[in-house]
């Protein structure tokens, strides 16, 4: 006999037994059909097990259909978890920013306080002043001017491996770089810029 | 002493003229849930099913040693069925309602504590099987078992021929009950 056909027959037989059992259990059979089924039950263990299986299945179906699925709760939990993680990132970033700002502001404020207590002026350029408070502003300016003179005097750059670009020989340090270290020159540049800007009342027409 | 009796009475299984209590306890542990379900299907009454279950195991203690070990489950079911049919014939079941499924549900809800794990496994398996049923079949299952409507009413509400509704229910029950049977077989292995 073909194994596939015997398997098919067995499955069909199981399905038939289950259907008969369901009809018996759910009261679909007539009195005569019920008696006939019960006489089969007296001799057929597979049919008895089919009855038991149908009863268990019906009970489980009732439980499943009467209970809501817990999926929405899980989704809400997951959403709350993601939201909490997002807020953690935001608060962490804010805390880091605050720490960074404090680390910049705190030494500057303490140096200013010390200078003022000594009768001096607050030092501008906080990073430089906090790194080497003993370096004077005039010393820095002197270093810049010395480097400018070296370059203008056709001095060779310390690093000879760097490629020279055409026109680099006549390189001049721009004025705005010195203005950052020399407040008087900066003030002059700002005034020149303000004069060159068009006034609100004046039009070309 | 007959051959059958000799083969059934191995020294480890019997205690005098009775089955060893450990053997009966193992029988109860292995088959009580299924047997109770079977009896509920026959009697359509959870309390009566419980009474017959106890009677069947009392018989197992008294005369279980006369059965063969390999067919003891079938023997137990047959004894329980005969007991149930005696009760039926004596007319102790007065009500013959078409709402037996409601009683099965009550039996399922008021199960014994030791059956709870078994029941929750059934529910999980049936839920999985229901999820993969075609919606048309699941709808019929829901209306017949949960809403307890007759097939005629279901056919009318769905606007389908009665034969179509019966076919859907038959296919669905085959899949659902088959799922439980497959799992039982795997557990026995």
Cβ distance B41 to A66 less than 8 Å, yes or no, reads no
Tens of pLDDT along B22-60?
Answer: 888 999 999 999 999 999 999 988 888 999 999 999 999
The complex's ipTM? 0.82
- Given a contact cutoff of 8 angstroms between Cβ atoms, the answer to whether A15 and B174 are in contact is yes
Of the pLDDT bands very low, low, confident and very high (cuts 50, 70, 90), residue B84 is very high
Three-state SS sequence of chain B: CCHHHHHHCCCCCEECCEECHHHHHHHHHHHHHHHHHHHHHHHCCHHHHHHHHHHHHHHHHHHHHHCCHHHHHHHHHHHHHHHHHHHHHCCCCCCCCCCHHHHHHHHHHCCCHHHHHHHHHHHHHHHHHHHCCCHHHHHHHHHHHHCCCCHHHHHHHHCCCHHHHHHHHHHHHHHHHHHHHHHHHHHHC
- Given a contact cutoff of 8 angstroms between Cβ atoms, the answer to whether A93 and A101 are in contact is no
Tens of pLDDT along A127-164?
Answer: 444 444 555 667 767 776 776 666 555 444 444 455 54
Of the pLDDT bands very low, low, confident and very high (cuts 50, 70, 90), residue B3 is very low
Considering only the beta carbons, identify the residue of A19, A28, A59 that sits closest to B108: A59
Q: pTM for the complete prediction?
A: 0.58
Q: Is A120 on the interface with B (CB under 8 A)?
A: no
C-alpha dihedral (A55, A60, A62, A63), degrees to nearest 10? 150
pLDDT of residue A70: 56
* Overall average pLDDT of the B102-131 stretch: 72
Considering only the beta carbons, identify the residue of A27, A42, A66 that sits closest to B100: A27
pLDDT of residue A99: 80
pLDDT of residue A186: 56
């Amino acid at each position: 006999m073909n194994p596939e056909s015997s398997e098919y027959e067995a499955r069909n037989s199981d399905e038939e037994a289950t259907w008969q059992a369901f009809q018996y259990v759910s009261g679909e059979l007539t009195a005569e059909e019920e008696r006939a089924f019960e006489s089969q039950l007296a001799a057929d263990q597979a049919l008895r097990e089919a009855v038991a299986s149908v009863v268990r299945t019906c009970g489980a179906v009732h439980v499943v259909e009467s209970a809501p699925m817990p999926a929405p709760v899980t989704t809400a939990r997951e959403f709350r978890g993601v939201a909490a993680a997002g807020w953690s990132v935001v608060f962490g970033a804010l805390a880091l920013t605050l720490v960074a700002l404090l680390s910049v502001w705190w030494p500057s404020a303490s140096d200013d306080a010390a200078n003022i207590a000594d009768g001096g002026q607050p030092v501008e350029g906080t990073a430089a002043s906090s790194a080497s408070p003993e370096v004077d502003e005039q010393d820095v300016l002197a270093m810049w001017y010395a480097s400018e003179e070296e370059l203008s005097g056709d001095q060779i750059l310390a690093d000879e491996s760097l490629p020279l670009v055409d026109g680099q020989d006549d390189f001049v340090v721009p004025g705005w770089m010195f203005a950052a270290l020399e407040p008087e020159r900066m003030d002059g540049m700002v005034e020149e810029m303000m004069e060159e800007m068009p006034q609100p009342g004046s039009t070309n027409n | 002493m007959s051959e059958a009796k000799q083969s059934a009475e191995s020294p480890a299984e019997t205690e005098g003229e009775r089955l060893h209590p450990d053997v009966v306890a193992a029988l109860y542990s292995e088959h009580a849930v299924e047997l109770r379900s079977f009896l509920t299907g026959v009697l359509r009454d959870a309390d009566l099913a419980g009474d017959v279950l106890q009677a069947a195991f009392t018989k197992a203690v008294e005369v279980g040693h006369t059965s063969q070990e390999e067919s003891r489950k079938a023997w137990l079911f047959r004894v329980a069925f005969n007991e149930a049919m005696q009760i039926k014939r004596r007319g102790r079941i007065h009500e013959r309602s078409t709402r037996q499924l409601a009683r099965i549900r009550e039996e399922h809800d008021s199960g014994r504590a030791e059956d709870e794990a078994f029941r929750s496994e059934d529910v999980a398996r049936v839920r999985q099987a229901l999820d993969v049923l075609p919606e048309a079949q699941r709808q019929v299952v829901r209306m017949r078992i949960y809403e307890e409507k007759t097939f005629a009413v279901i056919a009318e509400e769905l606007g389908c021929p009665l034969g179509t509704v019966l076919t859907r229910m038959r296919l669905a029950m085959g899949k659902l009950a088959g799922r439980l049977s497959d799992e039982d077989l795997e557990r026995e292995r």
